[in-house]
Structure 1
C-alpha cells in the first residue's frame, strides 16, 4: 500500500487579486470608521471622542445611516429569513434541541415538523412517542455536513442549489453546509452509490479549499472549483500546491464572469 508523508509548512495565502470581495472595508478593534456624527452606532462599534470606532475585527457594513461591523470569526447570530442547517443534539418533550453554530442551542417544535407524506393534522401522543423515528441525535443521512465560518457564506435569494454534477448543496447562513445526492437525478445519469459518493467527496474537498483561501461560498464558486478539480484525484485536492492551483483557476473564472 502506497503512503505519502509530508512535513507541516506555513501556508502562503493567495495573492490579493482584485475581485469585488477584496474591496471590503476591513477594520480591527480601535480603528476609526468615520468621524461623521450623522451615522448611527450598530453592532461591533462604539462612540469615542466624536468618532465611530470598531470594537471587533471584521468588515464594515452600512445600511442607510446605520453602521455596524460584521466579525470575521464569530458564532452565528440569526436574522429573520435565514436558511439554517442544524443537527439534532437532544430529543425532549414535543421538541428537539438543535445545534446551529450559535451561542445557544435552537429549538425545533414537533408542531413545526412536516409529517411523513406531508399529512396535515394535529400532532398526537403517538407522534410524540415516534419523535426519534423522525429525527434522532447526531443523524447524518445520505450526505456530508461541512462546517465553515458563517462570514464566508454569501447571502443570496436561494441557498438550495442542485448542481449539474449530480449533487445538491444547502448553504446555511449559520455556516453549516449540507451536501447530498440530488433526489430527482436520473439513475442512469447519477451512476449509482459509488459515483454519488465520489461527487460528494469531491465537493466537500472543494469547499474546504475555498474556505482555506477565504473565498466566498455560493453556487457558482463551488461549481467552478469542482470543475477545476476534475483533472486531480479527490485525495489530492487538499494538497497545498494543488489547492492553490484550483482556487486560483476558480478565482480567475469568477473575475472573468464579473467582467
Structure 2
C-alpha cells in the first residue's frame, strides 16, 4: 500500500488575527528560521510595569515576585535586592508599603516585632533568678527584670536577695500583665517594665488573642491603647486594654480608693501603691458586667474576622452597633453572639457597605 506524505497544515492560534499570523511567519523567515507555516515565535512574556506607574500599594505580592527594577527606589523590610542589579524582590507575601522612596512589604500574617514604647499584654511563662520571661507573641520571649517593677508599698530601693526569694509573690507562671517595651536587644529580644501605676497584673476580665501589627485587620497603634467606657444595660464601667502585640484584655473597672486619684510623686508613691496590686484574687463581677464584657469580646473578634482595624474608635462604634442589633433580636440584651452573618452585618454597618 503506497504511503502519501501530506504537507503540514497551518494551525492558527486561538483569538489570533490574520495580520498577526503573517507577521509571525515573516519574522521567522527573516531571522533565518524555518519558513514553514505554523511556526510560533517563542517570545518571553513582557516584564511587569514599574512600580511608579502601575503597581498600587493595595496589590498583594508573593515571595520571589519582582516589585520594581527602577534604581530610584530603596528596599526595606520584606524585600531583598538581586546582587549586581537594581531590582527589588519581595521576600514575603503581603502588601506593598511606600515611605518616600523606601519600599517595604507588610506581611499578611507575621509575629509581633517589638518597638520601644509599645504597650503590650503578656503572660508569664517562666520565673528565673532576677527576672521573668514573658510571652508577648514575638519570635522570642521578652524579659521583665525584678528591678523594673514597683515593690509593694512603693518602696524605692535596691532589690535584695529577699526580693529574689519572694519573686513568685509578685508574678507567677500563668499571670497576665500589661507592660511597656523599654529596651531592645540586638537579636530582637525585648525588655519590659511596669514602673508606672497604669501597668501591672491584670484581673477581673477576659483575655483575647487576635492579630497584631503583622498586617491586615487587627490591633493597630493609636493614640490611646487603654481606656474606660460606660457599658449599656447596667453593665457599669469596663476597662479595655489593646496590646500592640495583638493581645487584648477586657475587664471590670475597679475604682481606686479615695486619695489615690491625686498626682503621684516620688514621696507619695508609698501611699498610692498598695499590696493588693499583685493579688491574683478576682473581685465579684455582676452578671450584667460579665454579659457586656462578653459582648465587647465578640465585637473585637468580629472586627478581626472581617479584616477591620481594632482601635478605640472602631471598638466603641462596634459596641454601640452590637447593642442596637441585640435590641432588635428576640433575646434582647442577652443576645451577644456576633459570629458568622451577624459579624458580617456588624462590619458592614461600620464600613457603610
TM-score range, shorter chain: 0.7 to 0.9
In the alignment, structure 1 residue 101 sits paired with structure 2 residue 201: no
In the alignment, structure 1 residue 169 sits paired with structure 2 residue 203: no
Query: How far, CA to CA, are the matches of 1:132 and 1:185 in structure 2?
Result: 25
Query: How far, CA to CA, are the matches of 1:220 and 1:121 in structure 2?
Result: 41
In the alignment, structure 1 residue 58 sits paired with structure 2 residue 94: yes
In the alignment, structure 1 residue 142 sits paired with structure 2 residue 204: yes
Alignment deviations for residues 180-224 of structure 1 (CA, whole Å, 9 cap, x no partner): 2223499xxxx9532221221111111111111111000011111
* Secondary structure of residue in 2 paired with 1:223: helix
- Aligned residue runs from structure 1 range 192-211, under 5 A: 193-211=286-304
In the alignment, structure 1 residue 155 sits paired with structure 2 residue 255: no
* Secondary structure of residue in 2 paired with 1:157: coil
Alignment deviations for residues 120-172 of structure 1 (CA, whole Å, 9 cap, x no partner): 22222222222212111112521211111113211113311222322122211
Query: How far, CA to CA, are the matches of 1:127 and 1:60 in structure 2?
Result: 49
Taking a change above 3 Å as real, the CA distance of residues 174 and 193 of structure 1, as seen in their structure-2 partners, is same
Corresponding residue for residue 74 of structure 2: 40
- Unaligned residue ranges in structure 2 (runs of 5+): 1-56, 177-202, 232-236, 258-283, 327-332
* Secondary structure of residue in 2 paired with 1:117: coil
Corresponding residue for residue 72 of structure 1: 108
Two-structure CA RMSD over aligned residues (Å): 2.5
> What's the TM-score once normalised by structure 1's chain length?
0.79
Query: How far, CA to CA, are the matches of 2:344 and 2:102 in structure 1?
Result: 38
In the alignment, structure 1 residue 221 sits paired with structure 2 residue 314: yes
Q: For the pair shown, which has the larger CA radius of gyration, 1 or 2?
A: 2
- Unaligned residue ranges in structure 1 (runs of 5+): 1-22
> What's the TM-score once normalised by structure 2's chain length?
0.59
Taking a change above 3 Å as real, the CA distance of residues 117 and 67 of structure 1, as seen in their structure-2 partners, is farther
Corresponding residue for residue 191 of structure 2: none
> How many residues matched?
228
Alignment deviations for residues 232-258 of structure 1 (CA, whole Å, 9 cap, x no partner): 256652341211111211222xx9xxx
